[in-house]
């Protein structure tokens, strides 16, 4: 136990003595304030849940109603952890030469995962409901067993996300497998293909009876996931574990090198692709963009609420076909901020450099449009709107994003995740959303109101194609702006 305490002290000292904490004391204090604020809000919600459930279903016990919605809460918890929870990291190297067992280091890391501050939110929601409602209705033992099963379920989602995120860092197949599983689970819940509400109610009602079987099953699954995480982390303590990943990356780099040697534009595009695949934050942007590719389905499923050619569908089309363009393009220069000095010190053709970045964004728009094609199931109008949105993104929004990115001089650390990270974010990143999404919607709105939606789509597409004809003009203007602002931009990248 003393070793656990020493490691805890070392980690705290490293955190509070770090330059990041010292530079951002006000921001960190603000984050702590918001964390405490949400804890209080969740506790108030937990206290009021009994009144809410009695109003929604007076014939059933509030605990039983709560049990029915637990699956959706766990699904939301899984999603929030996937995007917001950072993996706890322990710098192992300083301890490997000391008489400290490797198993102990791994156990320490896993316990930090289970007892992270993120778990305060579900606890602050559950405990008021537990004391006010569960104990009076289910008895002390039944309520305790029910609470333990729920805590085990939350810990299972915690370890599942940790195992998935660590595995996905070294195995790209895990990323696509997790994405497919998440989409399938979300669609089955949203479209009610599987009666998750009933199943969730049955399972947790069983736990509330005080039976030992739900406890054994839930803690058995928790122990199994803990073992998988332990085995994986135990193996990753050795440098040899990274040899296979290095070999795969070398093969990838060699494959890209074969096609990029034909021109400098493809050379830069290949380097950009490697930058995305090898670094945490741009890779997160890629995964989130793929998720937003199916975002439009939320609007189309509720198509009866809107007219066939509603402006809401154009908004969805711009957002889905341009999700990678918007999220990646706004930091177009910042991704390479760490070595931008080296880039500008070489005989670089800025126009070719920008052409490679435009090519990456153009390809992403095409891929996202292909992903949205199955939404034609909801009607041919959906395909027309998405096609017009993709053309507008390709011809107009690519250059808008590149122009905005040329003014961004904030540094980005590629190794950090994108959740709760404000690196590279400035006022321009908030304002750029107005022309990117608002302009096409405003242009299309009069045509939609006067029952001429097809004409509006032709106009949107025409603007995109017309802007595309001025491709060389836009690139020349942006290249000139980057050249004129070169020293201010490089100075900004060094300061942040």
The first and second tokens of residue 347, run together, are: 């005989």
Model pLDDT, residue 122: 83
Same domain, 345 and 481: yes
Cα 194 to Cα 132: distance, rounded to the nearest angstrom: 32
Number of domains the chain is built from: 2
242 within some domain: no
Enter the pTM of the model: 0.53
Same domain, 46 and 158: yes
Under DSSP, is residue 348 helix (H, G, I), strand (E, B) or coil?
coil
On whether both 284 and 158 belong to a single domain, the answer is no
Within a domain: residue 474?
A: yes
Burial 208-222 (b: 16+ CB within 10 A, else e): bebeeebbeebbebb
Residue-range definition of the domain harbouring residue 188: 22-237
Residue 83 in any domain: the answer is yes
Whether 368 and 451 share a structural domain:
yes
Give yes or no: residues 488 and 355 share one domain: yes
- On whether both 221 and 350 belong to a single domain, the answer is no
Residue 252 lies in a domain: no
Please say whether the beta carbons of 207 and 149 come within 8 A.
yes
Residues 228 and 287 in one domain: no
Answer yes or no: is 257 within a domain.
no
Distance CA 79, CA 449 (A): 38
pLDDT at 242: 39
Alpha carbons 255 and 173: distance in angstroms, whole number:
18
User: Do 340 and 211 fall within a single domain?
Assistant: no
Residue 12 lies in a domain: no
Residues 445 and 330 in one domain: yes
What CA–CA distance (Å, rounded) separates 291 from 282? 14
Give the residues of the chain that fall short of pLDDT 50. Answer: 239-262, 418-422, 424-427
> In this structure, are 286 and 224 located in the same domain?
no
In a domain, 250, yes or no: no
* Cβ 45 vs Cβ 125: under 8 Å: yes
Whole-angstrom distance, CA of residue 367 vs CA of residue 390: 10
Is 390 part of a structural domain of the chain?
yes
């Amino acid at each position: 136990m003393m070793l656990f305490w020493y490691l805890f002290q070392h980690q705290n000292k490293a955190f509070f003595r770090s330059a990041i904490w010292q530079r951002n004391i006000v921001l960190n204090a603000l984050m702590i304030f918001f964390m405490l604020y949400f804890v209080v809000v969740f506790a108030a919600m937990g206290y009021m849940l009994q009144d809410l459930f009695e109003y929604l279903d007076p014939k059933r016990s509030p605990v039983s109603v709560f049990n029915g919605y637990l699956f959706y809460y766990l699904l939301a918890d899984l999603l929030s952890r996937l995007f917001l929870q950072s993996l706890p990291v322990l710098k192992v190297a300083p301890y490997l030469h000391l008489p400290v067992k490797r198993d102990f280091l791994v156990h320490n890391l896993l316990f930090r995962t289970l007892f992270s501050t993120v778990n305060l939110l579900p606890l602050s929601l559950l405990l008021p409901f537990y004391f006010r409602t569960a104990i009076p209705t289910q008895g002390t033992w039944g309520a305790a067993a029910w609470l333990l099963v729920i805590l085990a379920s939350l810990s299972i989602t915690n370890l599942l996300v940790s195992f998935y995120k660590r595995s996905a860092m070294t195995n790209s197949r895990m990323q696509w497998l997790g994405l497919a599983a998440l989409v399938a689970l979300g669609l089955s819940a949203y479209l009610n293909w599987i009666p998750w509400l009933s199943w969730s109610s049955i399972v947790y009602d069983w736990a509330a009876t005080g039976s030992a079987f739900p406890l054994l099953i839930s803690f058995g699954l928790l122990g199994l996931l803990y073992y998988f995480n332990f085995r994986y982390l135990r193996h990753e303590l050795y440098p040899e574990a990274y040899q296979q990943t290095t070999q795969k990356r070398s093969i990838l780099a060699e494959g890209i090198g074969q096609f990029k040697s034909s021109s400098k534009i493809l050379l830069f595009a290949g380097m950009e692709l490697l930058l995305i695949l090898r670094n945490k934050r741009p890779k997160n942007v890629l995964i989130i963009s793929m998720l937003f590719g199916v975002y439009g389905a939320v609007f189309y499923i509720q198509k009866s609420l809107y007219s066939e050619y509603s402006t809401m569908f154009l908004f969805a089309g711009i957002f889905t076909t341009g999700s990678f363009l918007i999220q990646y393009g706004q930091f177009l220069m910042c991704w390479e901020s760490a070595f931008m000095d080296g880039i500008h010190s070489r005989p670089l053709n800025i126009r070719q450099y920008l052409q490679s970045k435009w090519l990456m964004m153009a390809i992403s728009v095409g891929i996202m449009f292909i992903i949205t094609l199955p939404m034609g199931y909801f009607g041919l109008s959906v395909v027309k709107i998405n096609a017009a949105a993709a053309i507008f993104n390709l011809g107009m929004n690519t250059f808008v994003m590149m122009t905005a990115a040329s003014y961004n001089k904030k540094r980005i650390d590629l190794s950090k995740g994108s959740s709760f990270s404000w690196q590279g974010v400035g006022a321009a990143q908030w304002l750029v959303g107005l022309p990117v999404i608002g302009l096409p919607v405003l242009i299309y709105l009069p045509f939609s109101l006067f029952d001429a939606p097809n004409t509006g789509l032709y106009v949107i597409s025409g603007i995109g194609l017309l802007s595309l004809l001025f491709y060389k003009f836009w690139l020349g203007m942006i290249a000139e702006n980057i050249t004129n602002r070169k020293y201010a931009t490089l100075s900004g990248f060094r300061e942040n």
